[in-house]
Structure 1
Amino acid sequence: MKMSKGFKNGALLMLTAMVGFGVAGCGTTEKPANTNASAPKAEQPVQPAKETKVEEKKEEKKLSGKLVVYSAGPKELAEAIQKGYETKTGVKIEMFQGTTGKILSRMEAEKANPAVDVVVLASLPSTQGLKKSGMTLEYKDAKNADKLIPEWSDKEGHFYGYSASALGIGYNTKLVKTPPKEWDDLTKEEWKGKVNIPDPALSGSALDFVTGYLSMKGDSGWQLLEQYKKNGVAMAGANQEALDPVITGSKSIIAAGVDYLTYQAKAKGEPVDMLYPASGTVISPRPAAIIKTSKNVDNAKAYIDYLLSDEAQKLVAETYLLPGRKDVKAKDRPGVDQIPQMKIDWTWMDTNGDAVTKKFTQLFK
């Protein structure tokens, strides 16, 4: 049915009046009198809904694919961390395990076509060298990084010292009834031909000890090492190779041996123990770093986070290493505050590591 023009205008006027009345009513603060009990109650103005802030939860990125890790031992710890990380993330790890020296050699061989995403070394100066060469990726937001012992990590986030070992004098308790107390005691006649020392070209922690000692003593520090050589101290491979003869009794003592291996052997019932000279020793952090050429950066960051987690730090303690976090206690062994430390210069150690290794190797050939 066609609506007339007059009807349209009338309807429009009525609608305008109703809207105007409604607007005026909304602006009134005075309460109208109730003149008719049966009249419908005036509708209350609808209040605008209050805005509720919904906090956006930052969802963790769903990880997939693989991660290539080159890790210095101990083997059981590397494998336990691998299992825990894979279970947590679903990412598959391709692992190469070796000494710090072997890992660095492999990285050098792969320089034209790098494969590794994360390296875990047993030497802080060696990791500093990777940073200096521009090979590490900055990762500042690692979880629990604020709980770490700060001296073991890079302030700019290029590497994190998630664990450490201390270097000491390990000895066979059946053969050694009165153990030596100081480093220079090993130059005495009674220990002639009975002492092993790890090769710093293979063991990052042994290199930390030698360079740390020299950074404190200067060139005069070579006198002790020369006296070791004259007294028949033998350079005997990496840490485990140097310790095994002490466990079996073909040698009596290991100088500058990583302590966690001795504590592990002792826990298994082997006749060995460890001491730290009162003059001090070196605590060797074991840093982890993401390599700049990584093809799996998100997976690599998650691996660093896992290393610093409660779960992984507990695994570190169970391996008799020193945990990197201040709030995690060492297990059945002296903690960081119970070990006398030398005043060493990490920068000097990093700069002079290659020259020291070469000279030491020539001396102990």
Structure 2
Amino acid sequence: MMRVLQKRTVFAATLLASAVTFLQPSTAQEALTVAVYGGEWGEGITQCILQPFTAATGITVTPDPGTSTVTLAKLRQQKGNPAIDVAWIDGGVSELAGEEGVVATLDPAKIPNMANMETEGVYKSKDGKVYGLSTGFYSLGLVYNTEDVKPAPTSWWDLSKPEFDGASTVPSPANAMGVPLFVHINKLAGGDLDNFKPAIDKYKEWKVSSYFDSSGAATNSFQSGEVIVGGHYASAAWSLADKGLPISYSPPKEGAPSGDIRVHIVEGTKKTEAAEKLVDFAIGKEQAKCLSEKLYVGPATKGVELSEKAKSRMPWGDGTIADLARIDWPAINAKRQAITDIWNKEIARK
């Protein structure tokens, strides 16, 4: 009997050791570092995607907040041995990340929800490989305080009104829409990609309180009353309105540049399987619905049923993704550094 017990004990110990050995590699995979935005965008992604993902899978997520340009700089520094596994990066900067090889190719077989995405939300390299997926479209127009700004602004040129001196804000080149807005204003003022003087002159007319790098910084400025009008995201305006603040959004008659927030897997991550699970989860219907209801971004996932309130606040109005004023990112990226240099010399230091 003693020999039987000894054999059983040895057998059980062997099984336990085997189980521990088997679980150790898996446990090492069960944690991800994810680059996200700050402010309400980061809160939305955390509440709609990251926290539910951990609850559903047990895989923990450590957020690494920052703007898209800051995230790209980190990925460049970490190339070959990344500390970040998954990254949210805005359109425009996303293309740069794809071209520089700091984000990985996404395998549709490993990310099955990709098959349920709108064509406009799937981003491919020149050789046809997918490198980024949209988790929501947004637009940047005129946000204003309804108590202090009457009538509502309808044009980008309204920012030149003397009553807005020292009480307005627009994005800097560090923000995803900073360069696109600069190019948009330049074109409206008669310039082109070889002549930025019209935009420089116009920006100097706008006696802004501040230029914001992150969406959260702009939102804080509206909340504190530091600014009462400016070029900001429609989603941010509606979020503030939902909190009871007298803030609204007005689409400029000259057009509101649009972009989207995209999720990527970082090239070289040692946690590819867990990262693929997160990306697949992020583009699911429930997560897309949650972001659309919370941030009022337009879903890139098909078949998302929205409330009437969310529908009325979509960046494309009563239309579809096809109606957005999409940005020519390759053309803008070719001039991005030149525009940033001009901005730093002519506008930021004025």
TM-score by structure 2 length? 0.77
Structure 1 residue 361 displacement after superposition? 2.9
The match for 2:300 among 319, 324, 327 is 324
SS of 1:327's partner is coil
CA pair 165-225 structure 1, distance change in 2 beyond 3 A: farther
Structure 1 residue 186 displacement after superposition? 1.8
In structure 2, the partner of 1:115 is 83
In structure 2, the partner of 1:293 is 268
In structure 1, the partner of 2:120 is 151
- Provide Cα deviations, 1:184-238, integer angstroms capped at 9, x if missing partner: 222233433331112221x223344334555785245652442232331243332
In structure 2, the partner of 1:347 is 330
Structure 1 residue 325 displacement after superposition? 1.9
Moved more, 222-231 or 172-181: 222-231
The match for 2:37 among 65, 72, 81 is 72
In structure 2, the partner of 1:14 is none
Pairing of 1:308-319 with structure 2 (within 5 A): 308-319=283-294
**C-alpha RMSD of the superposition:** 2.6
User: Which amino acid in the other structure matches residue 134 of structure 2?
Assistant: G
Q: Find out whether 1:204 has 2:179 as its counterpart.
A: no
In structure 2, the partner of 1:259 is 234
Is the 2:104–2:131 contact (alpha carbons within 8 Å) kept by the matching residues of 1?
yes
Is the 2:184–2:257 contact (alpha carbons within 8 Å) kept by the matching residues of 1?
yes
In structure 2, the partner of 1:168 is 141
Q: How far, CA to CA, are the matches of 1:313 and 1:205 in structure 2? A: 22
Q: How far, CA to CA, are the matches of 2:134 and 2:172 in structure 1? A: 23
Is the 1:166–1:258 contact (alpha carbons within 8 Å) kept by the matching residues of 2?
yes
Q: How far, CA to CA, are the matches of 1:78 and 1:198 in structure 2? A: 21
User: Which amino acid in the other structure matches residue 82 of structure 2?
Assistant: P
Query: How many residues align structurally?
Result: 301
SS of 2:341's partner is helix
Pairing of 1:55-70 with structure 2 (within 5 A): 64-70=29-35
Is the 1:164–1:283 contact (alpha carbons within 8 Å) kept by the matching residues of 2?
yes
User: Which amino acid in the other structure matches residue 112 of structure 2?
Assistant: K
The match for 2:158 among 178, 185, 196 is 185
Q: How far, CA to CA, are the matches of 2:46 and 2:32 in structure 1? A: 14
Is the 2:137–2:315 contact (alpha carbons within 8 Å) kept by the matching residues of 1?
no
Is the 2:32–2:60 contact (alpha carbons within 8 Å) kept by the matching residues of 1?
yes
Structure 1 residue 154 displacement after superposition? 1.1
Q: How far, CA to CA, are the matches of 1:77 and 1:335 in structure 2? A: 16
The match for 2:93 among 126, 134, 140 is 126
**Unaligned regions of 5+ residues in structure 1, if any?**
1-61
CA pair 66-246 structure 1, distance change in 2 beyond 3 A: closer
CA pair 335-225 structure 1, distance change in 2 beyond 3 A: farther
- Provide Cα deviations, 1:243-268, integer angstroms capped at 9, x if missing partner: 3333333322022x122121111100
Q: How far, CA to CA, are the matches of 2:51 and 2:326 in structure 1? A: 38
User: Which amino acid in the other structure matches residue 192 of structure 2?
Assistant: G
Q: Which of 1 and 2 has greater Rg? A: 1
**Unaligned regions of 5+ residues in structure 2, if any?**
1-25
SS of 1:179's partner is coil
SS of 1:154's partner is strand
SS of 1:70's partner is strand
CA pair 245-343 structure 1, distance change in 2 beyond 3 A: closer
Q: How far, CA to CA, are the matches of 2:156 and 2:326 in structure 1? A: 15
Is the 1:67–1:296 contact (alpha carbons within 8 Å) kept by the matching residues of 2?
yes
SS of 1:359's partner is helix
Structure 1 residue 130 displacement after superposition? 0.9
% identical equivalent positions: 21
CA pair 236-289 structure 1, distance change in 2 beyond 3 A: same
- Provide Cα deviations, 1:55-86, integer angstroms capped at 9, x if missing partner: xxxxxxx9952222111242322322111111
In structure 1, the partner of 2:167 is 194
User: Which amino acid in the other structure matches residue 127 of structure 1?
Assistant: S
Q: Find out whether 1:218 has 2:177 as its counterpart.
A: no
In structure 2, the partner of 1:88 is 56
User: Which amino acid in the other structure matches residue 346 of structure 1?
Assistant: W
Structure 1 residue 304 displacement after superposition? 1.0
Structure 1 residue 310 displacement after superposition? 1.7
Structure 1 residue 343 displacement after superposition? 5.8
Q: Which has the higher helix share?
A: 2
CA pair 96-346 structure 1, distance change in 2 beyond 3 A: same
Q: Find out whether 1:334 has 2:313 as its counterpart.
A: yes
SS of 1:144's partner is helix
SS of 1:236's partner is strand
Structure 1 residue 272 displacement after superposition? 0.6
Is the 1:124–1:152 contact (alpha carbons within 8 Å) kept by the matching residues of 2?
no
In structure 2, the partner of 1:26 is none
- Provide Cα deviations, 1:306-329, integer angstroms capped at 9, x if missing partner: 011122112211322222224324
Q: How far, CA to CA, are the matches of 1:342 and 1:82 in structure 2? A: 30
SS of 1:273's partner is strand
